Structure 1
């Protein structure tokens, strides 16, 4: 007879511990003490953490038994992003969003390829300018420049888009605080959200038409596909899908670049090897460096699903309606799958095929990141371009705690990281602070 879920260890950290350590540290500690299958929380807030690669494999093989539609914080994302790709409901709505988005995030598309190359050069120029000293902001601006023209066309100033995304982050945080005590209808009329929608319409609305050119941006192609002239009710859907893709492309990719630079700054020998490789027209090592950074510090630490019906996992029956957390962070740092998991060794990705369930920085399954190929290309191009021109190391003034992860909307460095950046010819040198 199968045992009940009660046999799975339960960890009930007090609120003070959540506030002190954050969920990521609590999850790491729980797995160290109890293994890779553990309940965390209590009452209706309990989630089942499944932190093994076999659990990722189970999810891949039984994806139809899980769903993404959850309560509380998920409703906040839906309010902000509407019917966007990353929060669209299962069924026709999600399939439409995916179908419309997938061809528009192809790294080979002309506009996006131009954006990737142009932003890489901008990154090099900016990092050699000692007046600009916040590397985190620089990385986020780089990520925005990669996709700005491909998503909205050349009309909108990147500074306006940057302002819009920063406003989005502020509203998102406010609604997350309000979500546990307010219902959906009340949240939808939150004054901060109303103001944000007005700003969004003012900025994006005038860009929603375009000719049938091959160089139309994502927004205009959404509008054409949804035929908003004949179906004006689809206008909000087009804007929401654009915003969802824009925010995900900037925040996750920008922070991923910041982690890449943090790792590379501590292993400058790889920078020289990337330069040497580039002379032969290849960039296999640059790609491996990006993947190794995403392995050690994936910006998405967890992805959450709900069980649609009772499931047997590791000989235990998990009830329907269980909130389950799968963890790229914990799988990527598990010595059972990755020897010396905290060592930065890009060669791992040049020594043969990596099992699918061992490396999932962009989630996995049908709801994985639709822009993962684009993000990998952007990050690889940035690393290759930067290594060809600059040499950078971690400055002695960087406190060790700054490199520890802070888990919020994504996983980012906890504090300011100081780099010494110099031209390859060693003519100029300055310190840059993230």
Structure 2
């Protein structure tokens, strides 16, 4: 029995194959060939993939040994930090991270009257927009829906949805530009990237006036952050408030919006589940709608991997993993592991309707531990409300024109369908049909 981490198998795909397949497929191939513990990449610059549920359990039990890291420029966490500074989603553990989480948590409570109202209004907006023959992109509709769910809770009514939508679009573009530039740039060069400089000016011009006019209150995330951090009196706090707002907004919109897109993609192929939702809704229940959301998040979690750095030497499966090792945990691979789930590639929401509690190392679409998604309960409520509302009014199916390859996953900022997906929507009240293209 070896305790040398270098004895763990390596998987080094050719660069051309990596570009063609993408990292998600590479990780699946690596596990298929070498098991759920494997180095991926060149030996002098590899990341250790820990893809088993037992590895997630180790993370839960020894969380302090696995920390956020920012030293490796190609990592998503480093790019996020360059973009967002000490925001909730990117900062290291510490006083600033704890403060950001403490301030944010009460404002993503799905029972909040404001958020509940916006969740319901956004779900009914979906009903209207899906009947508009001019709309052709279901992906953009889902992202717009996610933005509508949270925008007022973040900013009140001081900024338009169109402005916020443009800002988030630019955020995605800059993020990808920095990821591409990272392998050939040092940290300081990335911080001076012209596109990033222009983006920061755009953010300040849009959000800065809101901070200047903010009241001291608890109604919105903006007000709560301004009350706690006093951005008018402390220049550094101004940037912190903006970064926390932008980081949480981007995560809330992209992850929840794409999760809705995948959920609709799954249930469009299973009309009997839609009927179950309708029957439950007639009795004021939505257990099946909630189970459908969870099963979609199991089968296609939008966060396929999350990265940590080993803080101190640690034993993993009888191997000593040295401090400083970059490791990847994978909700995607755990969720599709037959050792954790019966018939893991089948869409079966009934898994989440039983009385038995599902172990956290088996189901982690929002990560695990103290760094799990602060808004996960809110996101589940938003998605469940949208599914229940849509199923009540529509019967939808996958259009025959959709090629099977379009439904395969592509790992970019998050996991999205690889191509255009078409749906046939039929009103449950009227014999009308519309086709929309994602």
Q: Write the deviation string for residues 337-378 of structure 1: whole angstroms up to 9, x where unpaired.
A: 111111110000011211111000001111111110010000
Q: Write the deviation string for residues 171-210 of structure 1: whole angstroms up to 9, x where unpaired.
A: 1111111122222222222211111111111111111133
Matches of 1:161 and 1:230, distance apart in 2: 26
Matches of 1:184 and 1:212, distance apart in 2: 36
* Partner residue in 1 for 2:404: 400
Q: Write the deviation string for residues 231-269 of structure 1: whole angstroms up to 9, x where unpaired.
A: 232001000000000000000000000000000000011
Say whether the 8 Å CA contact 1:287–1:376 is kept in structure 2.
Answer: yes
* Partner residue in 2 for 1:150: 153
Q: Write the deviation string for residues 102-122 of structure 1: whole angstroms up to 9, x where unpaired.
A: 111111112211111111000
- Counterpart among 178, 181, 199 of residue 178 in structure 1: 181
Compute the displacement of 1:420 (Å).
0.2
* Partner residue in 2 for 1:23: 23
Say whether the 8 Å CA contact 2:216–2:224 is kept in structure 1.
Answer: no
* Partner residue in 1 for 2:131: 128
Say whether the 8 Å CA contact 1:67–1:308 is kept in structure 2.
Answer: yes
Instruction: Report whether the alignment pairs 1:256 with 2:259.
Output: yes
Residue pairs, 1:256-405, within 5 angstroms: 256-351=259-354, 352-405=356-409
What SS does structure 1 have at the residue aligned with 2:361?
helix
Count, aligned residues: 433
Say whether the 8 Å CA contact 2:79–2:175 is kept in structure 1.
Answer: yes
Q: Write the deviation string for residues 42-99 of structure 1: whole angstroms up to 9, x where unpaired.
A: 1342011111111100110010111111321333211111111111122112111111
Say whether the 8 Å CA contact 2:37–2:49 is kept in structure 1.
Answer: yes
Q: Relative to 1, partners in 2 of residues 1:319 and 1:296: Cα closer, same or farther, differing over 3 Å? A: same
Greater CA deviation, 127-136 or 143-152? 127-136
What SS does structure 1 have at the residue aligned with 2:261?
helix
Compute the displacement of 1:10 (Å).
0.9
Matches of 1:45 and 1:280, distance apart in 2: 56
Say whether the 8 Å CA contact 1:88–1:97 is kept in structure 2.
Answer: no
Instruction: Report whether the alignment pairs 1:238 with 2:253.
Output: no
* Partner residue in 2 for 1:9: 9
Instruction: Report whether the alignment pairs 1:427 with 2:425.
Output: no
Matches of 1:35 and 1:75, distance apart in 2: 28
Matches of 2:44 and 2:290, distance apart in 1: 42
Compute the displacement of 1:212 (Å).
4.4
Instruction: Report whether the alignment pairs 1:65 with 2:65.
Output: yes
CA RMSD of aligned residues (A): 1.2
* Partner residue in 2 for 1:104: 107
TM-score (norm. length: structure 2): 0.97
Instruction: Report whether the alignment pairs 1:141 with 2:140.
Output: no
Stretches of structure 1 lacking an aligned partner (at least 5 in a row): none
Matches of 1:399 and 1:139, distance apart in 2: 21
Compute the displacement of 1:229 (Å).
2.6
Stretches of structure 2 lacking an aligned partner (at least 5 in a row): none
Compute the displacement of 1:30 (Å).
1.1
Instruction: Report whether the alignment pairs 1:415 with 2:412.
Output: no
TM-score (norm. length: structure 1): 0.98
